[in-house]
Every structure is written in C-alpha cells, then in structure tokens.
C-alpha cells in the first residue's frame, strides 16, 4: 500500500503541475482567444482538489509506518477525506467526459490519445477511492488493536482495594 500511496502522490503532483502549466499558457495566449469561464472553474477545482489530495496522502502516510511511528492519537481532518474523494471523483468525471465525447463522435473515428486519456484519469481515480476506503478500514483496525493492548496494559493498574 505504501507504493500505491507514493504513486498517487506522484500522479497528484503531475496533475497539479499540468493544471498550473495549462492555466499559465491560457493566460498568456488568452489575449487573442476567448476562453470560457467554465474552463477556469474546472482547472481551479482540479488544482484545489489535487493540492488537498497531496496533503492527505502526506499526512496519512504515517499509518503505513512501523507501530512506533504511526501516532494513532492524531485524527485525519475531515476536509482531507472529502478532498481526496472529490479529487478521485474529479478524475473519474474527466475520464467519463472523455469517454462520452468519444462515444458521441465514434462515427468519425477515434484516436489513441482519447483512449489513453480515459485510462490516465480513470485508473488513478479508481485507485484513489480504493486507497481511501482501505485506509479508513486500516485506521479503524489499528485503533481497535491499540485500544485492546492499552486495556490489557491497564488491567492491573485499575484495581483498588
């Protein structure tokens, strides 16, 4: 799971850098071409969700470390959970929109770039959901194990005569 988390961080960084680059190019060349406002909104959401997703993966990496370094007492903020789910949803939305446009214009043929785009966005989106749900279960399991061990350690201390 560590490898999956690292790959998801790298994918998030690539998407963030791509969004920044595309926005920069759009700002530079926007003098001659009118870009729809919705495009700026999509890129803004992609940028925000990617940044929150990167922070989520960095903050939750500790749950895959050795037991001494896990720090189970610290909570993962709800905004980070929502952000990573939104980022995965956004990736699946882009893949679905690309698939939709491919299906609408299939009579004109398709190119490999569209199919590659679908896979580039759907695979990290799917694995983002998978990692978030598996991590949620892992945190529950680790905390319950920690609570049981702590209860066992405290059995002799709580007896009063």
> Whole-model pTM?
0.78
Average model confidence (pLDDT) across the chain: 82
Phi, psi of 73 (to 5 degrees): -70, -20
pLDDT at 10 over 70: yes
Rounded CA-CA distance 139/107 in Å is 49
Q: What is the pLDDT of residues 33-62, one digit of tens each?
A: 677 888 888 888 888 998 999 999 988 888
The domain segmentation of the chain, as residue ranges, is 2-149
Q: Per-residue confidence at 18, pLDDT binned at 50, 70, 90?
A: confident
**Residue from 45, 59, 60, 35 nearest 15 by CA:** 45
pLDDT on residue 87:
92
Helix (H) or strand (E) segment spanning residue 8: helix 2-29
Tokens of 159: 């007896």
């Amino acid at each position: 799971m560590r490898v999956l988390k690292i790959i998801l961080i790298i994918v998030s960084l690539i998407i963030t850098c791509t969004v920044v680059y595309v926005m920069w190019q759009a700002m530079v060349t926007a003098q001659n071409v009118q870009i729809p406002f919705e495009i700026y909104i999509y890129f803004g959401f992609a940028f925000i969700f990617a940044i929150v997703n990167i922070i989520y993966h960095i903050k939750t990496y500790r749950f895959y470390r050795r037991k001494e370094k896990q720090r189970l007492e610290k909570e993962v903020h709800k905004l980070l959970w929502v952000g990573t789910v939104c980022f995965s949803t956004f990736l699946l939305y882009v893949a679905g929109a690309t698939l939709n446009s491919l299906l609408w214009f299939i009579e004109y043929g398709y190119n490999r770039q569209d199919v590659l785009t679908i896979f580039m966005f759907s695979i990290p989106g799917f694995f983002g959901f998978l990692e978030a749900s598996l991590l949620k279960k892992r945190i529950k399991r680790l905390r319950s194990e920690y609570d049981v061990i702590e209860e066992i350690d405290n059995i002799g201390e709580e007896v009063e005569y």
